Amino acid sequence: MSSEKFYFNKGWSFESFKNHILSSECRTNCNKCDYCKFMRELKPHLTEIPEMVFPQNKLVIKYNKNDNNLKNLSNYENNLKQNNSTINNFSNVQISFECINALKLIGKSNPDDDLKVSYSKEWLQSREESETQLKGMVKSYDWTFTTSYIGDLLLNLDNTDSYFEKDQTFPQNSESIDYEMLKIPEKILFFDQIDLYEDELGDNGISKCDVKIRVTPSYMFILLRFFLRVDGVIARSKETRYFHQFDTNYILREHSEKEQKLSANDNYDIPSTNILSNIDEVCSKLPVLRMYTEKINIHVSC
Q: What is the pLDDT of residues 132-147, one digit of tens each?
A: 554 444 445 578 899 9
Q: Which residue has the higher pLDDT, 281 or 302?
A: 281
Closest listed residue to residue 153, CA positions, set 11, 85, 299, 251: 251
Q: What's the whole-number mean pLDDT along residues 274-295?
A: 85
Among 2-6, 44-48, 134-138, 152-156, which range has the highest average pLDDT? Answer: 2-6
pLDDT band at 59 (very low <50, low <70, confident <90, very high): very high
Q: How many CA atoms lie less than 13 Å away from 178 in the CB half-sphere? A: 10
What confidence score (pLDDT) does residue 33 get?
82
Mean pLDDT value of segment 175-192: 94
The dihedral over CA atoms of 183, 188, 190, 195, expressed in degrees to the nearest 10, equals 40
Closest CA to 161 of 70, 62, 78: 70
Q: Decide: pTM greater than 0.85.
A: no
216, 190 contact by CB (below 8 A)? no
pLDDT band for position 183 (cuts 50, 70, 90): very high
Residue 131 pLDDT > 60: no
Asked if residue 235 belongs to a domain, the reply is: yes
**Average of per-residue pLDDT values in the chain:** 78
High-pLDDT (> 70) share of the chain, %:
70
The confidence band for 208, taking pLDDT boundaries of 50, 70 and 90, is very high
Judge residue 48's burial from the number of C-beta atoms within 10 Å of its C-beta, 0-12 exposed, 13-18 middle, 19 or more buried. Answer: middle
Q: What is the mean pLDDT of residues 235-261?
A: 93
User: For the chain, how many structural domains are there in total?
Assistant: 1
Supply the pLDDT for residue 82: 42
Domain-embedded: residue 159: yes
Question: Per-residue confidence at 122, pLDDT binned at 50, 70, 90?
Answer: low
Distance, CA of 42 to CA of 101 (rounded, Å): 9
Whether 38 contacts 26, CB under 8 Å: no
User: What is the pLDDT averaged over residues 284-288?
Assistant: 92
Is residue 189 situated within a structural domain?
yes
Neighbours of 22 (CB within 10 A): 21
- The pLDDT assigned to 153 comes to 87
Q: What is the pLDDT of residues 12-44, one digit of tens each?
A: 999 999 999 998 888 777 777 888 888 888 887
The shares of helix, strand and coil residues in the chain, as percent rounded to the nearest 5, are: 20, 35, 40
Asked whether residue 122 is assigned to any structural domain, the reply reads yes
Whether residue 68 has pLDDT greater than 80 = no
> Higher confidence at residue 48 or residue 119?
48
Strand arrangement of the beta sheet that strand 250-261 belongs to: 52-53, 190-199, 205-215, 219-230, 234-245, 250-261, 288-297
Angle at 138 between CA 40 and CA 144, to 5 degrees: 70
Residue 220 and residue 250: Cα distance in Å, rounded? 12
User: Domain limits at 48?
Assistant: 2-297
* The CA-based dihedral angle spanning residues 150, 154, 157, 158, taken in that order and rounded to the nearest 10 degrees: -110
- State the pLDDT at residue 193: 96
Residue 302 lies in a domain: no
3-state secondary structure of 131: helix
Q: Residue 178: pLDDT above 90?
A: yes
